[in-house]
Amino acid sequence: MAKRVVIGMSGGVDSSVAALLLKEQGYDVIGLFMRNWDATTNQDVLGNPTVDQDMCPQEVDYNDALRVCEHLDIPLYRVDFIEEYWRDVFSYFLDEYKKGRTPNPDIMCNKYIKFDAFSKHAAQFNPDFIAMGHYARVKRNGKIKLLRGVDDNKDQTYFLSQLTAAQLEHVLFPVGAYDKAAIRALALKHKLPTAQKKDSTGICFIGEREFSKFLNNYLPAQPGDMLTLDGDYMGKHTGLMHYTIGQRKGLGIGGNERYDNAPWFVVGKDLALNRLYVGQGFHHETLYSTSCTIEAINIIDPALTLDGLKCTAKFRYRQKDIGVQLSVKDDVVTVIYDEPVRAVTPGQACVFYDGDECLGGGLINKVYKDGQVCPY
């Protein structure tokens, strides 16, 4: 009897080809489409009114997933995880912005929705595996290992770093062994309805909308002073939540006789005083740090000793790997970089690697330069 796989169908080309590959490999494939966000009403899942009236393209995505499943002759079911998504992902997203941090909701979506709520719902079909269209690989040789996708430019292990070995044990990533060009070619060869569909970008609940306007629906902006680190007034900011460390765009700083025409960047935040600090130059010294502490730590192999561990790390998606060493003291994990790193940002993920293996990671808490806490 063929082994059964329940695959998350997003309506995109990656999950479409993943389903195709599984079927070609002889699996009994069942598709499951997740609806995680309700953009069809003017209220949230708790019944609170909002002013968010923009339509999310989820219906388009569902119809695309349905056409692919019909083309492949596999069944497609639909499930709502709206309440779970609001509780475990969107509430976290808002809470982080309230703290002046820059969250990564995709990581929490993977942890709580795609590989938790999804798995629990899929259990009714008695699957041997669940599958997703992520560019990653799982190796099983006594220990579960999460490996980077073959396509370095599309590798998504950064977003999977909060998954546990138990979650990964019965997961398949069919497209992880291919590069994006090969996936597109397979979709065209097999005439999949999504073969030429553009890749989705950004956060699913925001879609193509302007981020700041969307966020203002849930967290009213509190404008404040924009200053240099020396205290020179440079204008007003529109709300600290709208800025991230190292950001250049949207500062609105015009010509100033006291300064030259070098570009300005966000170099710090003061949440208590509602101040945004800016400085000139991409390589402004304040943007560079030498260590950080992390929280919400997840290590895929629980037997791995963190204190003294030497490995590499990414502090942002698609950032180059940086050599680091970990230190653990009084249950605080400190990540010490081999070289100074620009714009390490509280709230973002710090993800550890040993070659192609993703070891896990944590969320950046505080950032330091030569032992002194940075102003962000």
Q: Say how far apart CA 118 and CA 41 lie, in whole Å.
A: 24
Is 204 one of the catalytic residues? Answer: yes
Type of residue found at 64: D
- Which residues pair with residue 237 across a beta bridge? 224
- Output helix, strand, coil percentages for the chain, rounded to the nearest 5: 25, 30, 45
Q: Which candidate, 237, 244, 250, 239, places its Cα nearest to that of 215?
A: 239
Give Cα separations from 250 to 239, 259, 304 (angstroms): 12, 18, 43
**Buried b / exposed e along 158-187 (16+ C-beta atoms within 10 A):** bbbbbbbbebbebbbbbbbebbbeebbebb
- Bridging pattern class, strands 76-80 and 129-131: unpaired
Catalytic residue among 56, 109, 350, 374: 109
Reply yes or no on whether 109 is catalytic: yes
Q: Which two tokens stand for residue 201?
A: 């970008």
Burial of 357 (0-12, 13-18, 19+ CB in 10 A): middle
Strand order through the sheet with 4-8: 76-80, 28-35, 4-8, 129-131, 171-172
Catalytic residues: 109, 204
